[in-house]
């Protein structure tokens, strides 16, 4: 994606015309200077995880998940996770008369090993699954 702000009008137009229930973006390059109100899309909630130098990581990347605003969503405990090898956001979408849906946006930087990402997923699998009560 390489900077969601510069491309936001195009993203907003695509979302408005296709109306997905959920969508995710990687490499948002967002930081504290961009408020959620600047990323507002009518009818959607945004959950984002910015990757900044203040968090001990190099700046850039970052991920976000948007869901239609009529869904009951919860960000899972400790779900915004960032290491040099992988970053993620995990949500639970609670549906009426159905089981909840676990949604994750996961980014592996090009210089990170696939094995490191797989280890991360194995470690995260149990807490995420039990928290979502799937």
pLDDT in tens, 42-88: 999 999 888 765 544 555 578 999 999 999 999 887 677 777 778 88
Which token pair is 103? 């949604």
Rounded to two decimals, the pTM is 0.79
Using one digit for the tens of pLDDT, what is the confidence trace for 82-116? Answer: 777 788 888 999 999 999 999 989 888 888 888 87
Both structure tokens of 19: 């109306």
How far are the Cα atoms of 50, 95, 107 from residue 102, in angstroms, in the given order?
A: 21, 11, 16
- Listed by start position, the domains of the chain span 8-132
CATH architecture of 8-132: 4-Layer Sandwich (3.60)
Tokens, residue 101:
């849906």
Burial of 65 (0-12, 13-18, 19+ CB in 10 A): buried
Quick one: how many helices (H) and strands (E) in the chain? 2, 7
């Amino acid at each position: 994606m390489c900077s969601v702000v510069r491309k936001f009008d195009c993203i907003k137009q695509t979302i408005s015309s296709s109306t997905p229930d959920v969508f995710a973006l990687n490499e948002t390059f967002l930081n504290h200077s961009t408020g959620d109100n600047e990323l507002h899309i009518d009818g959607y909630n945004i959950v984002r995880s910015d990757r900044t130098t203040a968090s001990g990581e190099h700046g850039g990347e970052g991920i976000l998940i948007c869901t239609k605003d009529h869904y009951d969503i919860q960000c899972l405990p400790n779900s915004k996770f960032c290491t040099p090898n992988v970053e993620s956001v995990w949500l639970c979408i609670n549906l009426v008369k159905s089981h909840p849906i676990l949604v994750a946006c996961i980014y592996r930087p090009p210089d990170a090993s696939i094995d490191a990402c797989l280890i991360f997923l194995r470690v995260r699998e149990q807490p995420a699954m039990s928290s979502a009560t799937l």
